[in-house]
Amino acid sequence: MVRVIGFVLIAAAVAAAQEHSYTQADIENGARLYQSSCAGCHGPNGDMVPGIELQRGQFRRATTDTEIMRIIQSGIPGTTMPPSSFTDPQAGSIVAYLRTASPSGGGRGGAVTIAGGNPGNGRAIFDGKGRCATCHRVNGVGPRLAPDLSEIGTIRPAAELQQKLLDPNTTIRPGNRYIELTLKSGARTSGRLLNQDTFTIQLLDVNERLVSVSRSDLREMVFVKDSAMPSYRDALSRDELADVVAYLVTLKGYRP
C-alpha cells in the first residue's frame, strides 16, 4: 500500500515538473541545439558547472519550464551564463531535451511516454533478437569492448539512445573510440582507446587486456571511423525500437 501511494506521489511530481508533453521532434531538435550551444560550458551530460546538473533536474535558479526558457534566452546577469537569440520554440526544445534526459524530471516516465515502449520486451530484444548483449555489458555480464550500458539510462537521454540505434555513426563519444595500432615490430593490436599522451597510449585490447604502448614502439595508430554497431533502422520494428529504448532508460547503475 505504501508503495502504491509512493508511486502515485512520484507520478504526480513528474507530471508537475514536466508541465508540457514534448514531441519527439522537439527533443531531437533540443538535443542538437544543446550539444552545439550549451555543452561547451555545461558539458555533454549537463553536469560540468558545479552545483548544476541540467539533465538531472538540478538547477540553481529555475524550476518551471518557463523559468528555464527565460534563462536560456536572457542569460543570468553577473554570471558566465550569456543571453542567446533562441526563439521560444528553440528554447522550449532545449527544455524538452533536458527534461527527458532528467531522471527526476521524467527521464523514465517521459521516455516511455514518448516512445511508448515496454521495458520487459526491450530487455528480451536486447538479449535475444537484437543481439545487443553479444557486445554490450550490463551489470557485470557481457563482453567489455563495446560501451558498458549498466547506467546508460542515467547518462543518456532517451532521444539520444533512439538516435544511436537508428544511426550509430551520428555521435561516437570520445570514451568509445576504437583504434588500431601497428608496432615497429610488425605486431598489431586494436581496441578501445582509454587514454593517450605524447609518449604513450592506453587501451583495452580485443582480448580485454589493459595495455599500455609506448609511442616509440609504434609505427601507426589509426582511429576506426565507423561505429562497430549496426543500425537497427530496418532490423527492428518501430515498436521494438521503442521497447529497447524503454529498457535502456531503466538502466540506472547502482548510485543514480
Partner 1 sequence: MMPRTHAIGPPRRHEDAKTVLSKTSFVLSCLRGVRYHAAIAVSFAVVAVAVLDAQQVTFDRLLHADREPQNWLTYSGSLFGHRYSPLTQITPANVKNLELQWVFQTRGPAEPTEKFEATPLVVDGVMYTTLAPNHVVALDAATGRMFWMYSPRLSPLARVCCGRVNRGLAILGETLFMGTIDGHLIAIDAKIGKPIWDVAVSRPELGYSLTVAPLVIKDKVIIGPAGGEYGIRGFIAAFDAKTGNEAWRFNTVPGPGEAGHDSWPAGSDAWQHGGGSIWVTGSYDPDLNLLYFGTGNPGPDWNADPRPGANLYTDSVVALNPETGALKWHYQFTPNDEFDYDSTQVPVLADIEWQGRPRKVMLWANRNGFWYVLDRATGEFLRGKPFVRVNWAEGIDEKGVPKRVLNATPEGTLVYPNNQGATNWYSPSYSPRVGYFYIPSWMDTYSTYTKGAVEYKEGNQYVGRFPTMTVPALRTGPGNVNTRTPQEGWGAIQAFDARTGELKWQFKMSDVTDSGVLATASDLVFAGGREGYFFALDARSGAQLWKGSVGGQVSAGPMSYAVNGRQYVAIAAGSALFVYALRQ
> Which residue ranges make up the site for partner 1 (CB under 8 A)?
131, 134-135, 137, 139-140, 143-145, 148, 150, 178, 180, 183, 185-191, 194-195, 197, 199-200, 202, 204-214, 217, 224-228, 230, 253-255
In the bound state with partner 1, the residue whose beta carbon lies nearer, of 19 and 217, is 217
In the bound state with partner 1, the residue whose beta carbon lies nearer, of 80 and 185, is 185
Q: How far is the CB of 190 from partner 1 (least distance, A)?
A: 6
Q: How far is the CB of 76 from partner 1 (least distance, A)?
A: 26
In the bound state with partner 1, the residue whose beta carbon lies nearer, of 21 and 139, is 139
> How many other CB atoms are there within 10 angstroms of residue 35's CB atom?
14
Q: How far is the CB of 186 from partner 1 (least distance, A)?
A: 8
Phi-psi region of 208 (alpha: psi -120 to 50; beta: other; left: phi over 0): left
Q: How far is the CB of 63 from partner 1 (least distance, A)?
A: 22
In the bound state with partner 1, the residue whose beta carbon lies nearer, of 95 and 251, is 251
In the bound state with partner 1, the residue whose beta carbon lies nearer, of 43 and 75, is 43
How far apart are the C-alpha atoms of 187 and 206, rounded to whole Å? 14
How far apart are the C-alpha atoms of 57 and 102, rounded to whole Å? 6
H/E stretch holding 182 reads strand 178-183
Q: How far is the CB of 107 from partner 1 (least distance, A)?
A: 17
Burial of 161 (0-12, 13-18, 19+ CB in 10 A): buried
Q: Torsions phi, psi of 225, nearest 5?
A: -75, -45
Task: Answer yes or no: are the C-beta atoms of 153 and 165 closer than 8 Å.
Answer: no
